[in-house]
Amino acid sequence: MNKLFLIIKREFIAKVRNKSFIVMTFLSPLLFVGIAALVGFLSTMNKDKATEIAIHDEGGFIKTNFKNNKDFHYSDISTMPFGIAKDSAARNYEGLLYIPKVDSLQLIKDKVEYISENSASINFIGHVEKIVDSVLTSNQLRILGLDEKKIEEAKVDSTLKLSKFSGEESLKGLNEIKIAIGGLMGYLIMMFIIIYGNFVMRSVIEEKTNRIIEIIISSVKPFQLMMGKIIGNSLAGILQFLIWIIVGLLLAFVAQTFFGLQLNSSASLSPEMMAAAGQSEGMLKFQSYWTELMNLPLTLMLVSFILYFIGGYFLYSSLYAAIGAAVDSETDSQQFLLPIIMPLILGVYIGFFTVINDPHGTVATVFSIIPFTSPIVMLMRIPFGVPWWQLVLSLVILFGTFTFVVWFAAKIYRVGILMYGKKPTWKELFKWLKY
Amino acid sequence: MSNILEVNNVVKQYGNYTALNNVSLAVPSGSIYGLLGPNGAGKTTLIRIINQITMPDSGQVLLDGEVLKPDHIQYIGYLPEERGLYKTMKVGEQCLYLAQLKGLSHQEAKKQLKYWFEKFGIEDWWNKKIQELSKGMAQKIQFVVTVLHKPKLLILDEPFSGFDPVNANLIKDEIIELNKQGTSVIFSTHRMESVEEMCNYIALIHKSNKLIEGKLNDVKQQYRTNTFQIGVLTNDIEGLMYQLTQKFSVEQTIFKSLNDDIKLEVKIGNHTSNELLSILTSFGQVTHFVEKIPSVNDIFIQAVSK
């Protein structure tokens, strides 16, 4: 036990002292913020320039409904003959919206045409169709002698109230929060496994190439060394996450202090009361989200996050360690890595596509019980409420598999670390189990 | 004399390949025991079994009369043939770590390290990283780490590879010194002159089987051919040859001599050396009369090529 502690300590210190670890810890939040800023900047830059579109409306009924906005600028060139207008539009505009002259306005329905060099964006098509629809609809209403205002008044927008059998009420928007939280946890586990699993593998390969391995395993059991590595590296990873969380909280606190002040001053100074009202409405909504968030099974989520994190990480990183032991260099590891990464990615995809649509469907349930995907899929399902028996079954299977895989990996590890110069095949790996 | 290590009927198979076939050895306490054998004979497997890195399929190993158990690691110092250190770790920290893994306390490890670093005059390496040291320097550190915890049994696999002659001598003297203080040494190498010089027991493993084991002198006795190299100054060469070939088998040979003598190699078989000598003296002046003792090298080659 004492030796295991020594190994954990060494692995932890070796990892934490590593320059790339220090750089990653402090640079990646900056990088993250930088990329977010860049994306924000790029999207505003994209919006700066409106698309120039020419309109040739032969009837002249609709063109007035096309108003300039920040995305699209319309120029009326209906006075030109169509042929010239087309040439002109091809040269000076992004495209030409052609509305032919018809006897009855209703016939325009399928006649409006957009001519351009580049195919139109979905955004634009929807925009144009909506305008044409509304013009035609109100025209229709007028012909039928219906009062548009009254119809508008008669419209009802209902809201489905959601609650559980246990009596708790919940917001519809809460599903988004649940997806976001579950997705974040699942994604976090996947990233952690891939990054730190790789570190474990590299550390094993390093010991092999350094030829220190035989000296060490003449003092400790290979199993102890493997576990020490896995735990030491994960502690370094947890430290990194803790630093990020603390820095994040600090930044959030600082931002809130400043932002809070700014919000107050702008609210009192701003002449546009509407904006302020909108903001406070937003605040209200946020607050209700917050209370709903607090209604989520937070303790259960935290506990299961920790359990699935431990189970998933040990399960995978012991496989990474076995691979590291089996190969001589990182380049040789590729063929063995694929089968490891696949279930992880599968888990994330299932989580994002299946759990969101139907958190309690067969696919989501099955994959939240299969141990190689359960740490990701089950975590995504938990915010939606999972029956206890499924949770327990999934955890029991996960930890059972984890024990088996660690045993299996330790066997390969034990033989592999002393094998040099051979690039093993899958067949050989299974043979090693018998040694 | 008791045995520090006994290997009893050890069998180890890798798949269909038998690495050790019913091998038994006894290493007497206080000996320097040469473990010899061609490449791939099974030496490393045997050494790994003694170090509990791999387990034998059958048979047992006794250390100081007890069946090997995990606690025994602290009594063994092992210098593997394939050896290295963490490149980016500092020398001092690394030695402390490895010593603690062997079961020394932090303080004891530090004390011992100080002693050895001073002895080798390498105190200023403490804060250097291994990658800043030369291969020979790193080898020295490895040796220190191996003997640091005062093992009862030292297992050295090719200990001199990578050392220049000066440092090789230094290490050799340290090994002999430790042996005098009571440490038993198992010494695996292909350098036969070191075996000749240092070992008092040898064992030879070939193709997974033990061929020879015993005191070096006994083994040599066993492999002696009763051949004498002789030099005689005589005028009657034909007469001498005639007389000799009546009793012995004789061959011409070459050795260094200051005289212009006739140089022969004579196998005396069941006869005594005095019989040979009396014939020689009757023909002239005997300038050279030495029994050809088989070297470890000869024994090795002879046993392996049998």
Q: Is the dihedral of CA A348, A353, A358, A363 positive or negative?
A: negative
CA atoms within 13 A on the CB side of B148: 33
Residue A168's pLDDT band, with cuts at 50, 70 and 90, is low
The pLDDT value given to residue B156: 94
Q: What angle do CA B34, B39, B43 make, to 5 degrees?
A: 45
Q: Is the pTM of this model over 0.80?
A: no
User: To the nearest whole angstrom, how far is the Cα of A214 from the nearest Cα of chain B?
Assistant: 7
Per-residue pLDDT, B6: 93
Do residues B32 and B4 make contact, with C-beta atoms less than 8 angstroms apart?
A: no
Sign, CA torsion A352/A356/A361/A365: positive
User: How many Cβ pairs closer than 8 A exist between chain A and B?
Assistant: 62
Task: Report, as an integer, the average pLDDT of A415-430.
Answer: 73
Contacts for B32 with CB less than 8 Å, ≥ 6 apart: B175, B176, B179, B184, B185, B187, B198, B199, B200, B201
CA of A204 to nearest chain B CA: how many angstroms apart?
12
Residue A3 clears pLDDT 70, i.e. is over it: yes
Rounded CA-CA distance A289/A284 in Å is 9
Asked if B206 and B37 touch (Cβ cutoff 8 Å), the reply is yes
The residue written with tokens 């590595």 in the block is: A229
pLDDT at A434: 67
CA nearest to B130 within chain A: A210
Q: Structure tokens of B219?
A: 């083994």
Q: Which residue in chain B has the smallest CA separation from A415?
A: B54
Cβ B231 vs Cβ B283: under 8 Å: no
Q: How near does any CA of chain A get to the CA of B89, in Å?
A: 8
Lowest mean pLDDT among A255-269, A332-346, B159-173, B186-200: A255-269
Cα separations (Å) of A253 from A35, A257, A283, A294?
21, 6, 17, 20
Q: How many CA atoms lie within 13 A of B27 on its CB side?
A: 28
Q: Is A272 a residue whose pLDDT tops 80?
A: no
Burial class (CB in 10 A: 0-12, 13-18, 19+), B143: buried
For chain B, domain boundaries:
3-90+145-221, 226-294
Residues of B with CB under 8 A from a CB of A: 14-15, 48, 51-54, 70, 73, 76, 78, 80, 82-89, 97-98, 100-103, 142, 145
Cβ contacts of A190 within 8 Å, gap of 6 or more: A344, A345, A347, A348, A376
Q: Do B97 and A6 touch (CB under 8 A)?
A: yes
A32 CB-near residues (< 8 Å, 6+ apart): none
- pLDDT, one tens digit per residue, over A369-415 is 888 888 888 888 888 878 888 889 999 999 999 888 888 888 888 88
Asked whether the beta carbons of A313 and A406 are under 8 A apart, the reply is: no
pLDDT reported for residue A265: 45
ipTM above 0.90, yes or no: no
Return the C-alpha torsion angle A88, A92, A95, A101, nearest 10. Answer: -30
Rounded to a whole number, what is the largest CA-CA distance in chain B? 78
Asked if B100 and A6 come within 8 Å (Cβ–Cβ), the reply is yes
Question: Bigger pLDDT: A283 or B2?
Answer: B2
User: pLDDT-based confidence at A195, cuts 50/70/90?
Assistant: confident
Choice among A126-135, A273-282, B193-202 with the minimum mean pLDDT: A273-282
For residue B90, what is the nearest residue in chain A, using CA coordinates? A14
Cβ separation of A215 and B145 shorter than 8 Å?
Answer: yes
Name the minimum distance, in Å, from the CA of A222 to any CA of chain B. 8
The per-residue pLDDT for B298 is: 87
pLDDT per residue, tens digit, chain B (306 aa), is 689 999 999 999 887 888 899 999 999 999 999 999 888 888 989 999 999 888 888 999 999 889 988 888 889 999 998 888 998 889 999 999 999 998 899 999 999 999 999 988 888 899 999 888 888 888 899 999 999 999 999 999 989 888 888 889 999 999 999 999 999 999 998 888 889 889 999 999 999 999 889 999 998 888 888 889 888 888 888 888 888 888 888 888 888 888 778 888 888 888 888 888 888 888 888 888 988 888 888 888 888 887
Residue B120's nearest CA partner among B128, B129, B108, B112 is B112
Domain edges within chain A: 49-151, 174-244+297-432
Confidence band of A47 (pLDDT split at 50, 70, 90): low
Query: Residue B206 and residue B102: Cα distance in Å, rounded?
Result: 32
Q: Is the pLDDT of residue A420 over 80?
A: no
Answer whether residue A273 shows pLDDT above 50. Answer: no
Rounded to an integer, what distance in angstroms lies between the CA atom of residue A185 and that of residue A190? 9
Q: Which residues of B touch A10 (CB under 8 A)?
A: 97
Q: How many CB atoms lie within 10 A of CB B50?
A: 26
Where do we find the tokens 């629809």? A133
pLDDT at position A178 is 76
pLDDT in the model for residue B40 = 84
User: Is the distance from CB of A59 to CB of A112 less than 8 angstroms?
Assistant: no
| Alpha-carbon span B185 to B50, nearest angstrom | 13
| Residues 6+ positions from A289 with CB-CB distance below 8 Å | A171, A173, A174, A177
Mutate to test the interface with B, among A214, A413, A415 (most CBs of B within 10 A): A214
Q: Would you say residue A363 has pLDDT above 80?
A: yes
CATH architecture of B3-90+145-221: 3-Layer(aba) Sandwich (3.40)
* Inter-chain touch A212–B100, beta carbons under 8 Å: no
| A57 pLDDT above the threshold of 70 | yes
CATH topology of domain B226-294: Alpha-Beta Plaits (3.30.70)
- Average pLDDT of every residue of chain A: 80
Q: What b/e string do you get for A194-219 counting C-beta neighbours within 10 Å, with b at 16 or more?
A: bebbbbbbebbbbbbebbbbbbbbbb
Neighbours of A322 (CB within 10 A): 30
Residue with the larger pLDDT of the pair A293 and B30 = B30
Class of the domain covering A49-151: alpha beta
- How many Å is the Cα radius of gyration of chain A? 31
Q: Please work out, in degrees rounded to the nearest 5, the angle formed at the alpha carbon of residue A419 by the alpha carbons of A417 and A421.
A: 125
Angle at A350 between CA A349 and CA A351, to 5 degrees: 90
Sheet holding B285-291, edge to edge: B249-252, B262-267, B227-233, B285-291
The per-residue pLDDT for range A5-36, each reduced to its tens digit, is 999 999 999 888 888 888 888 887 788 788 88
Is pLDDT above 50 for A52?
yes
> pLDDT at residue A38 above 80?
yes
**Per-residue model confidence as pLDDT tens digits over A112-128:** 888 888 887 888 888 88
CA-atom Rg of chain B in angstroms: 25
Contact between chains at B101 and A221 (C-beta distance less than 8 A): no
Residues A96-110 have pLDDT tens digits of 888 888 777 777 778
Cα A19 to the center of its chain, rounded Å: 29
